Amino acid sequence: MIGMDRLSQILWREREMLEALAYKLEVERLVLASGRTRWLVNATNELEALLEDLRATEVLRATAADEAAEEVGLTPNPSLTALAEAAEDPWRAILLDHRDSLIAIAREIAETSEDAKGLITAGYRSARETLLAIGGTTTASYTPAGTAVVDAPRAHLLDRSL
């Protein structure tokens, strides 16, 4: 089964790329957590290059999956589970192993991405508040009675008397 062999090779490559993606996301998260944003552009560029390669690999996987589906009598665009169920051993076990590994890696990537997203959001808020405080911009505030006061001056966090 040439189609199954080709599909399995592409799935191995995709797994390796997803592992690399998980690693690069973790590096980006660590860069964000450390506050050393100087390296954030490098980490992001590496992620984008890997994602581009991953997209190309996904196209190859889809083509190989269609070829493998034809070999086992399935219609095009089958799920990996459907391919595994239609395949004979050892391909069934191999495809199920690929599926389980891909699910685990995807879960790890999603968790790391959420952590990084939280750090980015917190960093944005902190930077925005700092810039507003330094710039002395005005914002809405409230009186002790609860009425809105527009254009109330913000307190400065810097001692400008030096």
Distance CA 15, CA 1 (A): 21
Whether residue 159 is contained in a domain is answered as no
Asked if 22 contacts 3 with a C-beta cutoff of 8 angstroms, the reply is: no
Whether residue 58 is contained in a domain is answered as yes
Distance CA 74, CA 7 (A): 15
pLDDT tens digits for range 19-34: 999 998 888 888 877 8
- What percent of the chain has pLDDT above 90? 47
Whether residue 49 is contained in a domain is answered as yes
Whether residue 131 is contained in a domain is answered as yes
Task: Tell me how many degrees the CA angle 52-105-44 measures, rounded to the nearest 5.
Answer: 40
Whether residue 136 is contained in a domain is answered as yes
Query: What is the enclosing helix (H) or strand (E) of 29?
Result: helix 2-34
Average pLDDT along the chain: 81
Distance CA 101, CA 137 (A): 52
Whether residue 48 is contained in a domain is answered as yes
Whether residue 158 is contained in a domain is answered as no
Phi and psi at 157, nearest 5°, equal -95, -10
Number of domains in the chain: 1
- Say how far residue 121 (Cα) sits from the centre of its chain: 15
The pTM (predicted TM-score) of the whole model is 0.69
Whether residue 161 is contained in a domain is answered as no
Query: What is the enclosing helix (H) or strand (E) of 141?
Result: strand 138-142
For the segment 83-90, the average pLDDT, to the nearest whole number, is 92
Per-residue model confidence (pLDDT) at position 140: 52
Question: What residues make up the domain containing 20?
Answer: 2-153
pLDDT tens digits for range 137-157: 545 555 666 666 555 455 545
pLDDT tens digits for range 95-123: 999 999 999 999 998 888 887 776 666 65
Task: Tell me how many degrees the CA angle 118-119-125 measures, rounded to the nearest 5.
Answer: 90
